[in-house]
Structure 1
Amino acid sequence: MSDPALDTLRRIFGHDAFRGRQQEIVTRVVDGGDALVLMPTGGGKSLCYQLPALLRDGCGVVVSPLIALMQDQVDALRQLGVRAAFLNSSLDGAEAAQVERRFAAGELDLLYVAPERLLTPRFLGLLERARIALFAIDEAHCVSQWGHDFRPEYRQLTLLHERWPEVPRIALTATADAPTRREIVERLALQDAQQFVSSFDRPNIRYSAVARDDGRRQLFDFLDGHRGESGIVYCLSRRKVDATAELLAGQGYPALAYHAGLDAVTRAARQRQFLREDGVVMVATIAFGMGIDKPDVRFVAHLDLPKSLEGYYQETGRAGRDGDPAEAWLAYGMGDAVLLRRMIEEGDASDERKRLEHGKLDALIGYVESTGCRRQTLLAYFGEAHAGACGNCDNCLHPPRTWDATEAARKALSCVYRTGQRFGAAHLVDVLRGADTAKVRQFGHESVSTYGIGSDLDARQWRGVFRQLLAAGLLEADLESHGALRLTAEATPLLRGERSLHLRMEAPKAERRRSRGSGETRATPAPLDLPEDAATRFTALRAWRAEVARAQNLPAYVIFHDATLRAIALAQPHDLDALAGIGGVGAAKLERYGHEVIATLAAA
């Protein structure tokens, strides 16, 4: 006996089997039950509502927070032969009216709409006249005031259940710690929903974090291994975004800047370019990212600390959605934590919210300073156990060395105390190393007992000591005194000799691996693990896909993902029947592109 869900999966999406818990979720929603789905980016969340919408009577209404995401999803669905549309501010009045007519007439399988539009009396009236298959609430973490993407309109979405109690709802997110999950359930009245929590692990992403000593050089060292690949570089400030994009462009990278200070037209154009062209590097604040559906982002780099581990997971999750190897690289400094703490304290949030934000920042600092498996630390934050030794993070691949820093830490803490707890790390390092600077002379610090007692360590090593003492809670930054360091109660046992302290050994300053722009850096990404003849076919297929995508003004991955092209290149099908058996080639794409694919293979 055939399975309608599996038959539709094969016919429309071109896949022979479900992934993870997709089949359970689809069955739950098709049968009319509510569901809360927590699944990592790239895990196949969209299919969990798209497939039930095709199997149930009526149109699936998808609440989505971003215009770009709606357009991307609709473009991809139309390529599959699915009747999909969106309603948002990018449509003019006539276009919107046509979508509304098709929706009311039952001519759509899926309709994407922003929460602000859904809540208007006009759209609610439209829902009354239509047959609704399901409500999908995408990016459901936006409902949480404790989350990093809070959207107040999401809180009003309970009216969907109140007015259409017989219509199943599915809420989906890739990022939600336990408090956020509880709030999603409460705010969306999903107490009766079955929860499907997949592993948060993204084993294809390599995590690494480095202490920033020369951010520009370190970024170039990292990017040298990713020339020709698409990626995102996150910065905390708009000014740093603009400067970094200009710097990268000057070194031959196709870099674009993106932040909220740019007008909406420019932002939309740059996002479209990133999505539709290969090899673009987007330098951005966190204004860019949620809903980015580009599967072949090969790296995400952070030049500053993100605001929380939750935000970091969400941002790094934009890499490697296709399951191929990707990198998440983070450069951080002591000043990052000081700045973020100041931003928390100077905000107008309640004391409860500030305590929560400080806790989130503490967890993030613990992650970057960890000497253990980063994947284990990251997953533990989301309540998921991991055995460690993942083999795909910097600490597992190159275990950091530690040293007995007890004596050095005492010197550092004593120097903080002897200079009056009024100065930042840079000046304290000068005092410890016996530097003859104007500031040292101005405050008479050449006369304090800690002057010159730290000449056995260089300035970089001392900065590492202060950074790690701050992370360990033995020091804190006085936010009202421009980040001056002062002792905490945790420092007392160490100063009294009642405890010892081991710290991460600062890695030596790296040599330049290669000169930028030299012939050693590849201009285009190499096909992954393909024999030479298959690699030739893969390259030909990508070139054909690029032409097709350009002609239709679509992102290339909407035509076929790289993974599908690799499978085609390996299998080398000689006819349509053989091509139909390859994952990712559904009936609509076979009919539309099959003959061209076969011809491209024959000519390669």
Structure 2
Amino acid sequence: MYTDQDFDQLTSERPTSAGRSPEQVLHEVFGYEAFRPLQGDIVNEVVSGGDALVLMPTGGGKSLCYQVPALVRPGTAVVVSPLIALMQDQVAALRELGVKAAFLNSTMDYEQARATEYALATGELDLLYCAPERLIQPRTIELLHNASLSLFAIDEAHCVSQWGHDFRSDYLQLSMLASEFPGIPRIALTATADERTRKEIAERLSLTRARHFISGFDRPNIQYRITPKTNANKQLLDFIHAEHQEDCGIVYCLSRNKVDATARLLSSKGYTALPYHAGLSAEERARNQERFLREDGVIVVATIAFGMGIDKPDVRFVAHLDLPKSLEAYYQETGRAGRDGKPSTAWMVYGLQDVIKLRQMLEASQGNDQFKRVERQKLDAMLGLCEVTQCRRQVLLNYFGDSLEAPCGNCDTCLTPPETWDGTVAVQKALSCVYRTGQRFGVSYVIDVLRGSENERILQSGHQAITTYGIGQELSANEWKSVFRQLVANGYLRADPEGYGALQLTERCRPLLKGEQAIELRKDPVARKGAGAKSSGGRRSGQDVRDQITDHAGWDALRACRKALADKQGVPPYVIFHDTTLFAMLERRPATREELAEVSGVGAAKLEKYGDVFLETLRSLSPEA
């Protein structure tokens, strides 16, 4: 929310960016020496008046691709942003850099909105953030026609895709920007779009003639790990305790009830864990998100409604207790980890019930046949990532049209290559048992029949007399669950679409039953106490960050200085400086303003505001051992 001081800033005198090159703006305002790959090309395209469609991974620096042109081109840049929290966060960060930024959204009262509109009309703003539903209102369009505009930036542009997981109907009307403001360049940005979605974005936003800039999808600092679900709560607690004891993270669950229960569990074990879902009041959601952004070591347990555009750089892990519906959703959610480039973990447990539940939800949905066909393909791709025996990163990148020549060495299938076994006979037994029991029972019952259980239900049904009774005693119940999980995941079996969980044969299983096809199955790893990324040859991502620090007292002093300034300004600590900037200060020990200005992330405005405070803190530190 704006204060009177904020509005004073909107109309205060500040040196104009006119005449500065993109490189000068990058260095003087943002404190960086050079653009990342593709950033410079994108900036130059927009500065020269061209349209652009930008696909860049989370943490890849998408915001600079429109913020720098906004400060080079004359006029106000209008940024379409889907979430109030996101635009408020970005505006706060820009103001810390000395940029005249503001937003228009439903949190503002009449006077605040009028003050922002006046600043727009009089040319006092560099950037104006606006929600799509606000932008398309006739009053807003009229305001923009009477203003001097430099560009339009459409952030999270995948929201325009009706096949996507974040579809927002208001985005569909943004195509009118092309006809209403034909001379103003437009840039659409997203981190999540396969080839089909990129084409849809271009068509729906009237950007068919825009240059496409597609950066690599790889986030090499994220370690991908997917493990069979046995006891999800215990597995989560073991994972956090072993690898991320003091770290900030996000845990995703499919249902609100599971979110609440998981948050209570983590809280009972001493973690600062906060729930986030649509069933909470807006005030509680905002409060929990604010704590997540501003405090250290907070874990948010959430449904997929949480996280779009969250700019917190030091999220060290993202955990999934339920299977996402698509690789797009998985990639975007895991991409909220490690935005600062430091080692981080994307960890997920996955089981047969996840597959059954999602397939049932899909078949029971109100979508038409085309929608269901696309959703099946997306779910099949997600399941393929879970069951793959080669490098997970190669599979993930390939889905988005990217490639990795060699296995990454930083996913579980690279670190501990899974074993496979000839499951042909076991699969034939499993499929035959489903058929012999009438395709009317769930997986637990079929396993009991295979293993020759003498429970009352089997005896009452008479299934102790069928030919498949007791023929599967060579495998444990958990091993049979693995077999059935892979059969459902790979489309040989399906769950009853009516929702009762009964397993049914599909046409695909015919060659297996006839003995015309063999099948290799993945052997689930045996869980060992204390087994984690470190014991399996991986990297303990949160510990890696802390291991880089040799002067812990100095690190704590710099963080305390940053926290005090952040609290005073009412912004998250990373808005003052990212951890990477503090690392550089601690390593380089600048003694003057000139030396501090050479630290990456220290721009002119922050040097002026905070330089002396941090230099004083650095002088107070004892010499590094």
Q: TM-score, length-normalised on structure 1? A: 0.96
One-letter amino acid of the counterpart of residue 278, structure 2: A
Matches of 2:143 and 2:437 in 1, distance apart? 70
Matched, 1:233 2:240: no
User: The residue matched to 1:582 in structure 2 has which SS?
Assistant: coil
Unaligned segments of structure 1, at least 5 residues: 515-521
Of the three residues 210, 213, 220, the one matched with 2:237 is 220
Matches of 2:144 and 2:258 in 1, distance apart? 45
Q: Which range moved further: 94-103 or 493-502?
A: 493-502
Matches of 1:239 and 1:128 in 2, distance apart? 47
Matches of 2:565 and 2:232 in 1, distance apart? 39
Matches of 1:84 and 1:214 in 2, distance apart? 48
One-letter amino acid of the counterpart of residue 616, structure 2: A
Matches of 1:436 and 1:549 in 2, distance apart? 65
Q: Partner residue of 2:181?
A: 164
8 Å contact from structure 2 (residues 101, 128) kept in 1: yes
User: The residue matched to 2:347 in structure 1 has which SS?
Assistant: strand
* Residue-by-residue CA offset, 1:200-243 (whole Å, 9 max, x unaligned): 11111000101101111111111111122111100001111111
Of the three residues 143, 148, 152, the one matched with 2:165 is 148
Pair 1:384–1:126, CA change in 2 (3 A): same
One-letter amino acid of the counterpart of residue 552, structure 1: Q
User: The residue matched to 1:262 in structure 2 has which SS?
Assistant: coil
Matched, 1:48 2:90: no
Matches of 1:546 and 1:102 in 2, distance apart? 31
Q: Partner residue of 2:346?
A: 328
8 Å contact from structure 2 (residues 20, 72) kept in 1: no
1:539, CA displacement in angstroms?
2.3
Task: For 1:236-251, list aligned pairs within 5 A.
Answer: 236-251=254-269
Matches of 1:312 and 1:215 in 2, distance apart? 18
User: The residue matched to 2:29 in structure 1 has which SS?
Assistant: helix
Q: Partner residue of 1:568?
A: 585
Matches of 1:282 and 1:153 in 2, distance apart? 28
Task: For 1:44-443, list aligned pairs within 5 A.
Answer: 44-224=61-241, 225-443=243-461
1:538, CA displacement in angstroms?
2.1
User: The residue matched to 2:166 in structure 1 has which SS?
Assistant: coil
Matches of 1:163 and 1:591 in 2, distance apart? 40
Q: Partner residue of 2:566?
A: 549
Q: Which range moved further: 316-325 or 546-555?
A: 546-555
Matches of 1:64 and 1:410 in 2, distance apart? 53
1:410, CA displacement in angstroms?
1.3
8 Å contact from structure 2 (residues 436, 468) kept in 1: yes
User: The residue matched to 1:172 in structure 2 has which SS?
Assistant: strand
User: The residue matched to 2:366 in structure 1 has which SS?
Assistant: coil
Count of aligned pairs between the two proteins? 594
User: The residue matched to 1:479 in structure 2 has which SS?
Assistant: coil
8 Å contact from structure 1 (residues 228, 525) kept in 2: no
Q: Partner residue of 2:7?
A: none
8 Å contact from structure 2 (residues 364, 498) kept in 1: no
One-letter amino acid of the counterpart of residue 109, structure 1: D
8 Å contact from structure 2 (residues 248, 315) kept in 1: yes
User: The residue matched to 1:490 in structure 2 has which SS?
Assistant: helix
8 Å contact from structure 1 (residues 404, 502) kept in 2: yes
Q: Partner residue of 1:517?
A: none
8 Å contact from structure 1 (residues 422, 481) kept in 2: no
Q: RMSD of aligned C-alpha atoms?
A: 1.5
One-letter amino acid of the counterpart of residue 352, structure 1: Q
User: The residue matched to 1:159 in structure 2 has which SS?
Assistant: helix
One-letter amino acid of the counterpart of residue 306, structure 1: P
Of the three residues 486, 499, 502, the one matched with 2:517 is 499
Q: TM-score, length-normalised on structure 2? A: 0.93
State the identity %. Answer: 58
One-letter amino acid of the counterpart of residue 383, structure 1: G
8 Å contact from structure 1 (residues 477, 486) kept in 2: yes
User: The residue matched to 1:480 in structure 2 has which SS?
Assistant: coil
Matches of 2:499 and 2:138 in 1, distance apart? 52
Matches of 2:544 and 2:528 in 1, distance apart? 26
8 Å contact from structure 2 (residues 581, 601) kept in 1: yes
8 Å contact from structure 2 (residues 360, 496) kept in 1: no
